[in-house]
Amino acid sequence: MSFEEEVVPIERVAKHFTVSVSAVRAWMRTGIIPRHCYLKIGGTYRFSIPKIMDHLAKENEANPEKEQVAPKTDTSIKPPVQLEFDFYNNPDRDI
C-alpha cells in the first residue's frame, strides 16, 4: 500500500458492503479479503476499499460460474420447544 491511499477502519468496510463487523472479520479469516488489502497497526486494522473491490472483481473474472457471496453462517431456525405442565396431577403441589 502506498502512503497516498486512504485506509479506513473495519466499521467503514462493513458499512460499505452493508454487513456486520464480524462478517468482515470472517472474510479476513477465510481469505475473501486477502492480506494485501489491509494493514494491522498495533491492535487495529486499516483497509483499502479500492484494493478489496479490485480483488473481488479479479476473483469474479477468474471464476465467473462461481457466485461471489459472503460466507453464510448456520441460519437454520429450530422450532420452539413445547413445554407441558400438569398442575392437577402433581403430588408436590402446595395448594
Q: What is the pLDDT of residues 40-76, one digit of tens each?
A: 988 899 999 999 999 888 887 777 665 555 555 555 6
Instruction: Look at 90 and 78; give whichever has higher pLDDT.
Output: 78
Instruction: Look at 95 and 89; give whichever has higher pLDDT.
Output: 89
Please tell me the distance from the alpha carbon of residue 88 to that of residue 39, in angstroms, as a whole number.
Answer: 66
- pLDDT score at 46: 94
What angle do helix axes 21-30 and 10-17 make, rounded to 10 degrees? Answer: 100
Neighbours of 65 (CB within 10 A): 4
Domain residue spans in the chain?
8-62
| pLDDT confidence tier of residue 4, bands split at 50, 70 and 90 | low
Q: Could you identify the residue written with the cell 471464476?
A: 63
pTM of model > 0.85:
no
